[in-house]
């Protein structure tokens, strides 16, 4: 490279490079890059939790339920108040009173997940056809993504059929 070429590069390129990157001795000073205001970003939406897909609620007649109960092929919850469970219940049923739904949910979710993984249906029952408790619990479980069945006629249908109780 010749001396003329070096002088030309120094005269043409160096001032331009200094002008964009920092202050020049003779020109106006620019703030350092770190103090230049950042371009504001549009607000990002908050992460949304994905609600589980609602589960199904299915009635199950006693004639269909009985073989499942006899072969221990279903997870059965008695949602009547604990007092009534103590007086008698379907053999193999677990007590989960409707009024204790929220406080006992964590413990029962483990059982429900295991039953679902084993393809065992979850069956709820209460006193009789007029009892709304099993439906209320079923709606809450379905909202959490669990499919459940409700024994038609509840414990009264079981007793009317003269089936054994515990």
Domain that holds residue 107: 57-160
Greatest pairwise CA separation for the chain in angstroms: 114
Whether residue 19 is contained in a domain is answered as: no
Whether residue 95 is contained in a domain is answered as: yes
Whether residue 93 is contained in a domain is answered as: yes
Please tell me the total count of domains within the chain: 1
Side-by-side strand order, sheet with 148-151: 57-60, 148-151, 122-125, 75-78, 94-95
Whether residue 42 is contained in a domain is answered as: no
Question: Residue-wise pLDDT tens for the chain (166 aa)?
Answer: 565 555 545 555 555 544 544 444 555 555 555 554 555 666 666 556 666 788 999 999 999 999 999 999 999 999 999 999 999 999 999 999 999 999 999 999 999 999 999 999 999 999 998 999 999 999 999 999 999 999 999 999 999 999 999 9
Whether residue 1 is contained in a domain is answered as: no
Tokens matching residue 117: 């993984």
Whether residue 20 is contained in a domain is answered as: no
CATH code at position 118: 3.40.250.10
Alpha carbons 141 and 148: distance in angstroms, whole number: 8
| Backbone Cα Rg of the chain | 36
Whether residue 139 is contained in a domain is answered as: yes
Whether residue 72 is contained in a domain is answered as: yes
């Amino acid at each position: 490279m010749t001396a003329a070429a070096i002088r030309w590069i120094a005269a043409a390129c160096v001032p331009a490079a200094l002008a964009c990157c920092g202050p020049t001795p003779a020109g106006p000073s620019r703030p350092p890059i770190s103090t230049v205001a950042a371009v504001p970003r549009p607000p990002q939406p908050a992460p949304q939790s994905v609600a589980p897909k609602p589960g199904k609620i299915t009635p199950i007649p006693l004639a269909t339920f009985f073989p499942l109960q006899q072969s221990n092929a279903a997870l059965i919850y008695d949602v009547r108040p604990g007092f009534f469970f103590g007086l008698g219940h379907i053999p193999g049923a677990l007590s989960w009173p409707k009024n204790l739904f929220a406080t006992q949910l964590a413990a029962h979710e483990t059982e429900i997940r295991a039953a679902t993984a084993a393809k065992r249906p979850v069956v709820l029952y209460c006193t009789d056809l007029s009892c709304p408790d099993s439906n209320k619990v079923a709606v809450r479980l379905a909202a959490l993504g669990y499919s459940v069945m409700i024994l038609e006629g509840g414990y009264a249908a079981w007793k009317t059929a003269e089936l054994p109780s515990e």
